[in-house]
């Protein structure tokens, strides 16, 4: 069966929104494209944590520095609340916020992530570190599924790590609208946004010398082999990432080193030499642009915290 077969040939396991379904649609499109959410299983989450520690990856270091400097102010602005974090990963930066909110102000913490096993491990380590904290992990795709939050007190949707950048601006609006609804009428949405900057810095951040980002990029191919029975030679694809200044985004690709066919179950996908599979777009904003995305869906920017070099912004929106 080819990706161009009609729907009647599509087995249930190939349903839209499943890994196989999205691979069939994405690799059957021109140009080929896949959602970055498929980087993340346990191995992908560990690789992402390693990226956060790289000297070239200013993103995590800068956002952490903003938090370290302003966390007391941020906690005061949130007040007593339940914190829901879509795409929580290892909740590394969040620990700082949760500790500063403390037992009096943090009513509960609900980390949400697509990498369920990694999420559970991270929740266990949080409980050990902060025994007073109620941690309720929710393994789900946050773009389609968020936990329903009930009980007294305000809900804060915390979305750090520049994950918002992985969505095209229209998708980002839809996502923020979902977060606004999840936060409720009195809710707040706190977002970490990577800002536009010298393209050389951006280029270095996504092309580290140790090749960790390349391994992270190829993790999606490894997952296709392990989980979907694909036969991909990982050495036959090269990591390629660049900044596209007109679109204001990093693009991450896997470029075919040769003319080849890859098989995913019964599906065949031809690649010509130099053809790419786009695995991630990471949009960079300025504060006004990010505020406009929020404003379009009824979120008003009420506070902003930036580092001295204006590389990254932590933005607080009110519903
Ligand atoms: C860029 S990392 C950020 C991790 C962490 N929040 C931070 O600030 O370092 C993105 C995280 O979101 C998760 N993720 C990506 N897409 C997702 C989706 N659609 N649904 C749920 N989790 C997702 C990944 O597993 C990963 O943990």
Domain encompassing residue 79: 58-197+293-318
Cα separation, 277 vs 253, whole angstroms: 5
State whether 75 and 213 are in the same domain. no
Q: Which residue has better confidence, 15 or 206?
A: 206
Does 4 fall in a domain? no
Q: Which residue has the tokens 């809710």?
A: 187
Does 109 fall in a domain? yes
Whole-number Å distance, alpha carbon 190 to ligand 1 midpoint, is 15
Does 17 fall in a domain? yes
- Is 6 a residue whose pLDDT tops 50? no
Q: Which residues line ligand 1 (CB under 6 A)?
A: 37, 40, 45, 48, 87-89, 93, 113-115, 141-143, 160-161, 163
pLDDT in tens, 152-211: 789 999 999 999 999 999 999 999 999 999 999 999 999 999 999 999 999 999 999 999
Helix axes 212-228, 19-27, angle to 10 degrees: 110
Contact 285, 196 (CB under 8 A): yes
State whether 231 and 135 are in the same domain. no
pLDDT in tens, 268-319: 999 999 999 999 999 999 999 999 999 999 999 999 999 999 999 999 999 9
State whether 177 and 74 are in the same domain. yes
Give me the number of domains the chain comprises.
Answer: 2
- Is 2 a residue whose pLDDT tops 70? no
pLDDT in tens, 240-263: 999 999 999 999 999 999 999 999
Contact 112, 82 (CB under 8 A): no
Does 114 fall in a domain? yes
State whether 214 and 176 are in the same domain. no
Does 48 fall in a domain? no
Q: Name which residue sits closest to atom 27 of ligand 1, judged by CA.
A: 89
State whether 312 and 251 are in the same domain. no
Q: Record the pTM.
A: 0.95
């Amino acid at each position: 069966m080819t990706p161009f077969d009609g729907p009647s040939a599509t087995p249930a396991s190939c349903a839209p929104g499943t890994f196989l379904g999205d691979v069939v649609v994405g690799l059957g499109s021109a140009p080929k494209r896949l959602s970055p959410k498929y980087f993340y299983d346990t191995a992908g989450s560990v690789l992402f944590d390693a990226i956060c520690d790289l000297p070239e990856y200013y993103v995590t270091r800068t956002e952490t520095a903003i938090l370290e400097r302003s966390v007391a102010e941020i906690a005061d602005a949130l007040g007593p609340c339940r914190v829901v974090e879509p795409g929580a990963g290892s909740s590394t930066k969040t620990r700082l916020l949760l500790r500063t909110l403390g037992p009096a102000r943090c009513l509960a913490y609900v980390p949400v992530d697509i990498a369920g096993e990694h999420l559970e491990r991270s929740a266990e380590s949080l409980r050990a570190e902060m025994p007073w904290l109620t941690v309720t992990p929710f393994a789900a795709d946050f773009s389609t599924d968020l936990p329903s939050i009930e009980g007294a007190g305000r809900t804060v949707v915390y979305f750090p790590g520049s994950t918002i950048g992985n969505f095209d601006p229209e998708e980002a609006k839809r996502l923020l609208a979902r977060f606004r609804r999840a936060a409720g009428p009195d809710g707040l949405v706190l977002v970490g946004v990577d800002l536009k900057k010298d393209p050389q810095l951006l280029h270095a951040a996504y092309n580290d010398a140790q090749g960790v980002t390349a391994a992270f990029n190829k993790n999606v191919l490894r997952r296709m082999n392990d989980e979907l029975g694909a036969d991909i030679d990982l050495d036959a694809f090269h990591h390629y990432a660049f900044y596209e200044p007109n679109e204001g985004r990093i693009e991450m690709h896997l470029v075919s080193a040769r003319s080849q066919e890859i098989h995913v179950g019964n599906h065949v996908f031809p690649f010509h030499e130099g053809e790419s599979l786009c695995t991630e777009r990471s949009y960079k904003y300025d504060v006004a642009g990010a505020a406009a995305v929020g404003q379009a869906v009824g979120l008003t920017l009420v506070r902003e915290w930036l580092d001295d070099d204006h590389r990254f912004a932590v933005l607080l929106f009110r519903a």
